[in-house]
Amino acid sequence: MVTMRDVAERANVSIATVSFVINGTKRVAPETRARIEAAIQELNYRRNVVARALASSRTRILALAHPDLEPKPNATVIQFVMGAAHGARERGYDLVLWPVNDDEQMSHLLAGGLVDGVLLMEVQIRDARVERLLAAQVPFALIGRTEDDDLPYVDIDFATTIHQAVEHLRGHGHERVALVTQQTGAAGEPGRIKRVESAYRDAIAPLGHPPAVIAVESTSAGGRDAARRLHDDFPEVTAAVLVNEGAAAGLVKGTRALGRHVPGDLSIISAATTRELGEMIEPSLTVMAAPAAELGRMAADALIDRLEGAGEAPPSVLIPCALVPGESVGPPPAR
């Protein structure tokens, strides 16, 4: 088996310098790094995670705990994950996805000693996973928020995002604006859904009309259901803020199937999503693009800072989504 000593001898450097490059723990001159990386490739060196853990009591592995990604992860979730993975790798850590849907799975995560810390996604208002991590004294950071804002978190600023979306629609003359969000499962209510609904109610309050909130599955079928319910239950609505990425295409298709047009009869803004999604749908959607990759990277940095004692205080970071105009918003239809 090729060892770190073999790599050091091939590159004509010390074992410590090889360790700095492999673990990303210290800056190494570019030409020295190049020699070490060439030696690693030539010798087909593979790090021994078990040996490293025994030597340092650290694995340099982080777990990203997320509910099972079914039916499939959406583009924004993937950007969160990739941002966290890149951020971890730049600091010399590896990131593994760890589905956690019940207490038994959480116990496996905490008992194995495989990971140094945990990133939590799809955070609930009252999240039992947080209580388990606190009790086990496992370092963690949140992508999302519980009801306790004293915990370290990064999150989308949903209040600013939803207010900006509603203001954009009002700027086009819309007075009756609905919210289409995501149904919650048995695991509980994600904090983002509660904050989105609260922000929506605040944003439309000056309009003097009752709220119109529809929660559907995060699927194309869910989007078609939302289109039907908007048509049947809220015929006065002329615009919708969608915070349900999986339902976006179905909402547009379902609206057309009812003989209506986007944006002629219904304007749509898809919030907390990706620019790419907006471009994939016809007409192209106006979106509030989520800073997912940036937040994922910041969460990884916050957790690693905590592991390495580099941070002064746990972060509390909120970043709003950015408006990206498309072709799905126009003036309301003449009544």
Kindly state the tokens that stand for 98: 């760890």
Buried b (16+ CB within 10 A) or exposed e, 117-150: bbbbbbbbbebebbebbeeeeebbbbbbbbeeee
The residue that leads in pLDDT, 8 or 52, is: 8
Q: Which two tokens stand for residue 233?
A: 């239950």
pLDDT at 217: 93
Task: Tell me the mean pLDDT in the region 265-285.
Answer: 95
* Band of residue 53 on the pLDDT scale cut at 50, 70, 90: very low
Q: What does the pLDDT read at residue 69?
A: 53
Backbone angles phi, psi at 302, to 5 degrees: -65, -45
The stretches of 205-274 forming alpha helices (DSSP H) are 220-233, 248-257
pTM exceeds 0.75, yes or no: yes
Quote the Cα angle for 195-201-205, to 5°: 150
Given a cut of 50, whether residue 248 has pLDDT beyond it is yes
Q: Over 90: is that where the pLDDT of 3 sits?
A: no
Q: What is the pLDDT of residues 131-172, one digit of tens each?
A: 888 888 889 999 999 888 788 899 999 999 999 999 999 999
DSSP symbol at 124: B
**pLDDT band at 40; cut points 50, 70, 90:** confident
Q: Is 317 helix (H, G, I), strand (E, B) or coil?
A: strand
Q: What does the pLDDT look like over 187-246, one tens digit per residue?
A: 556 788 889 999 999 999 999 999 999 999 999 999 999 999 999 999 999 999 999 999
Question: In the predicted model, is pLDDT for residue 331 greater than 80?
Answer: yes
DSSP line for 140-190: EEEES--S-TTS-EEEE-HHHHHHHHHHHHHHTT---EEEEEE--BTTB-B
What are the pLDDT digits (tens) for 285-301? 999 999 999 999 999 99
Q: Angle, to 10 degrees, between the axis of helix 4-11 and the axis of helix 15-23? A: 110
Over 50: is that where the pLDDT of 50 sits?
Answer: no
Spatial distance between the Cα atoms of 284 and 297, rounded to a whole number of angstroms? 28
Res 107: pLDDT: 76
Q: How many CA atoms lie within 13 A of 109 on its CB side?
A: 30
Highest mean pLDDT among 57-61, 93-97, 125-129, 322-326: 322-326
**Phi, psi (degrees; rounded to nearest 5) at 178:** -100, 165
Q: Report pLDDT for 54.
A: 42
Does the pLDDT at position 273 exceed 90?
yes
Cα distance between residue 263 and residue 193, in whole Å: 25
pLDDT at 58 over 90: no
pLDDT tens profile 67-125:
765 556 688 989 999 999 999 999 889 999 888 876 677 777 777 677 899 999 988 88
Q: Check pLDDT > 70 for residue 128.
A: yes
Find out whether 219 and 250 touch, Cβ atoms under 8 Å: yes
- What is the predicted pLDDT for the residue at 52? 53
Q: What is the mean pLDDT of residues 168-177?
A: 97
Cα(124)–Cα(327) distance, integer angstroms: 34
Whether the pLDDT of residue 326 is over 80: the answer is: yes
286-289 and 322-324 strand pairing: antiparallel
Contact in structure between 313 and 141 (CB atoms under 8 Å):
no
Cα separation values, 162 from 11, 140, 173, 180, 206, Å: 55, 28, 17, 12, 14
User: pLDDT value at position 47?
Assistant: 62
d(CA 285, CA 245): 11
Instruction: State how far the Cα of 268 lies from the Cα of 283, in Å rounded to an integer.
Output: 10
